[in-house]
Structure formats: structure tokens, C-alpha cells
Structure 1
């Protein structure tokens, strides 16, 4: 989910944000009960069809999928060696389907609409002490800061390559420092606006 909303007028974009999140939840939960490789493969084809229906540029779509492929490859190999290769294919298919579908939701739904949908869905839980506004704030920040963190990672890698340093575990240290500084600045900004004191300010 590296890219945010992609503006277009398509049937996929027109689907309400709440319904998209519900479908994502149902597919995510249901995929763990599916034990058929062809069924999960069909789900993947269906998601790809939704990308085409939403008129997502192919380069943007491929970028969403490529990000998770190294992780999927590692999981696939480990699962295949420790369990069996059939289970490895199932796990890989589940991850790709869920990531691709989640990326499609973010590409075709404005962040404000998604946050509003989350707040509406959690509204009935207010009596149980759940604060929908805070959950919505967390969702908004998560969506917003995924591309920010990727941009910081790219900056660290560019600086290391400029110094002749290839891929190394040292990459994690400056990235962690930059991330902690970002989190600290965000915390101070929220505190200055009194988020912890009054939820109405959200």
C-alpha cells in the first residue's frame, strides 16, 4: 500500500468505503478457511480484474505487488521446507490476495472516507468504552505514514549508495533513528493539540 488514492471515476471507486472494508474483512477472514489452491488462484484473478475495472495504471499495480514479493518468497520457501509445498502455495496465495486487495482499497478510497467508515462501524461500541475517533485517527496515520516511511528508507539507501555502501544491516540503524524522530515529532504535535485531553478536537 505504498500509493494512496488514485483519482478516477469507475464502479470500484464508487463503492462505499464501508462496504470495501467489509469485503476486505470477509475475504481476509475467509481466506484462512480456504484449502484449495485453484479457489485462491481464482480470487487472485478476481482482484486483478478489479484493478483493471478501476483503471489502475499497470505500473502502479505492479509496484503494489512487487513490494510484498520478497516477503512472500521467504515465507514460501520456509513453509515448503518445514511443512509441504502445497501448504506453501496456499500461504503465498493468501498473502498476495490480501495485500493486493488492501492496496486496491487504498487506491480507490479517499483516506477521509475510509476513516469516516471506520468511525461509523465502531460507533455501536462506544458504550463499551471504544473511542471510534481515536481508532479513526490511528487508521489515518497508518495509511499516511506507510509511504512516508518508504520515502525515508529510500533516502537512507540513496545516502549509503552515495558513500559506496551496498546492502548492509547498517541500513536499519539510521532508518530506525529517523523513524523514532518522526514518531517523537508526531507525538509532540498531537500533545500540543490536546488530543489526549479532548477527543472532540480530533
Structure 2
């Protein structure tokens, strides 16, 4: 799996928007949903996030893949808040989390990695005055964005193995396989960076 494998080519309205516009829109929606603090707003935003997928040519199947990974966490949050808080709060938190993760995934799927890197690099240019390298800052931010789908992919791979072995009722057995998958992905990413000379390790005698 590569960092460029996330982008889904298309000609929809979201594909035509710039990376900066999409990220600003995502930030604005996040602020509105969180500040509103209303379960109805959260549920409405979740419905809108689901509608964005087919409207962007991505299909609801991709949204389902995200929710399939998230549902254990959403269930845990919902149950905890219902038992120790109240139902409206549980609905609000679950709706907020699901909606914002879905929208963030849409941004990732409709934005080329190069566009994201260029945006982060431009935003990081002022840091050059304090000795930071804008290229490396952009790379770190891009890899951070990339890590979210990586976790989803690791969970899917571990869950498929879990089901294939006929295991059930012991979800804790997924923890170690997920960690192993993430370590393998991180190692593969590091090797790819070194192969391209982006993050070449220090060698003896090298300054």
C-alpha cells in the first residue's frame, strides 16, 4: 500500500476544489458542529457526510468501510455516555465523530498527495525563519493525514484474518495483529522514503 493509493481519480466538484479550500471547509464544519453542541446538528452533519460520497462519485461503499472500522469505538462511546451521562450527549458525540471522520476521509480520497504536500509546504514556509525545513514539515503532516486510513487498512486486514480463522467473541485478539500490521506499514513507508532519498539515515563518516 502506498501513499498515492488513497487518491481516487474523478471529475466531481470536490475533485476540482483545491486542497486548501477543502481543508478550510472541513475546519469550518468541525467548528460549527462542535460549537453547536446539538445532537440534531450532529446527526444532520452525519447524514450530509454520507450524502457527499455518492455525490463525489466515491460511492457509499467507501463510507461503509470507514464506519465498519469505527463502529466498535462509536459503540463504546455511545454506551459509556448513555450509562454515565445522557442519551442526547451520546448521540451528539457519536454523530460528531462519525461525521468528521467521514468528511476527513472524503478530503483524503479527492485530493492528490502532491497537492497536499504543496499546501503544507506553503503553510510551513514561515517556519524557515526559525530553522525548520518546510519540506520535512510538509512530509510529516502528509504522513499524519495518511496514518488515519492506514489504521483502517490494518484493522480490516486483521479482522479478515480473525474471521478466516473462525474466531468470534474475543475481539481482544485483534489488538496484536493490528499493531503488527501498522508496524509493517510504517517500515514499508520508511523504506520507500529512504529509497527515494527523502529521509536517508546517517551513515558512518557522513556529515
TM-score, normalization by structure 1: 0.77
Separation of aligned partners in 2, 1:29 and 1:185: 35
How many residues end up aligned between the 2 structures?
196
RMSD of aligned alpha carbons:
3.1
Instruction: State whether residues 37 and 92 of structure 2, in contact with CA within 8 Å, keep that contact through their aligned partners in structure 1.
Output: yes
Single out whichever of 150-159 and 41-50 deviates more from structure 2.
150-159
Instruction: State whether residues 12 and 50 of structure 1, in contact with CA within 8 Å, keep that contact through their aligned partners in structure 2.
Output: no
Separation of aligned partners in 2, 1:154 and 1:46: 25
TM-score, normalization by structure 2: 0.75
Separation of aligned partners in 2, 1:163 and 1:38: 41
Which runs of no fewer than 5 residues in structure 1 stay unpaired? none
Separation of aligned partners in 1, 2:92 and 2:27: 18
Residue pairs, 1:111-130, within 5 angstroms? 111-130=113-132
Shift in alpha-carbon separation, 1:145–1:40, aligned structure 2, 3 A: closer
Which runs of no fewer than 5 residues in structure 2 stay unpaired? 203-207
Cα displacement string for residues 113-169 of structure 1 (whole angstroms, at most 9, x for unaligned residues)? 122112222323332444332232123334545555555555555556565554453
Q: CA deviation at 1:182?
A: 4.6
Aligned residue number for residue 195 of structure 1:
199
1:62 equivalent among 58, 61, 64: 64
Instruction: State whether residues 150 and 185 of structure 2, in contact with CA within 8 Å, keep that contact through their aligned partners in structure 1.
Output: no
